[in-house]
Amino acid sequence: MSKLERFVRDNRNEFDSFEPRADLWQEIDKQLRAEEKKVRPLWFHSSVMRYAAAVVILLVAGYGIFQLGKFSATDEPIATVEKPKPTLAQINPELAQAEAYYTSLINEEKALLNPQEIEELGLKDDFNEDLVTLDSTYQNLRKQLLVQPNKEPIVAAMIKNLQLRVEIIRQQIETLQRVNQYKNKRKEQV
């Protein structure tokens, strides 16, 4: 046991003999309430300044709404002259030829696919998913081709996209042929 603890234990009665004054809590309460009062700037006490601030806020809000109204859809011109977009042949004639070639090749390969057979096997969604993604990517590349100054990487990506489509369709045809071969073997075995 430390000296302090021993001292407090030995002299406990002497410590308990002192009582606080009766008005002590009232004084503490007064001091706390005085601290609670907020200090407001002088201009805030004036009711004229409050009204002036409200008027300024309303004027600014009204002006903003007025400006937004100026640009509404009803004020658009009736006819607009839009600059015609250049065709793919105008931008890059070689790409236009490649696109025509691959598009015809894709259509020929798609004609070899039997849609009924694909649906029976439950592969319709799987087969279409990749082609839809590639088509969306191709459309984005086509938009970029109109605005990008360096067209060579975009043209290369577009041609690669078309080649991938042909390859995917060929893989789909191969898959269907393998499934048909498997079915035929199963029939022969039965």
Q: What pLDDT is attached to residue 73?
A: 52
Q: What pLDDT is attached to residue 186?
A: 82
Q: What pLDDT is attached to residue 37?
A: 61
Q: What is the pLDDT of residues 140-150, one digit of tens each?
A: 888 888 888 78
Domain boundaries, the chain: 3-73, 88-189
Within 10 angstroms of residue 139's Cβ, the number of other Cβ atoms is 11
Distance CA 68, CA 78 (A): 20
Q: Which residues of the chain have pLDDT under 70?
A: 16-18, 35-49, 70-81, 190
Residue owning tokens 């035929």: 184
Distance CA 23, CA 15 (A): 21
Q: What is the pLDDT of residues 60-91, one digit of tens each?
A: 888 888 777 766 555 555 566 677 777 777 77
- As to burial, measured by CB atoms within 10 angstroms (0-12 exposed, 13-18 middle, 19+ buried), residue 155 is middle
Rounded to two decimals, what is the model's pTM? 0.51
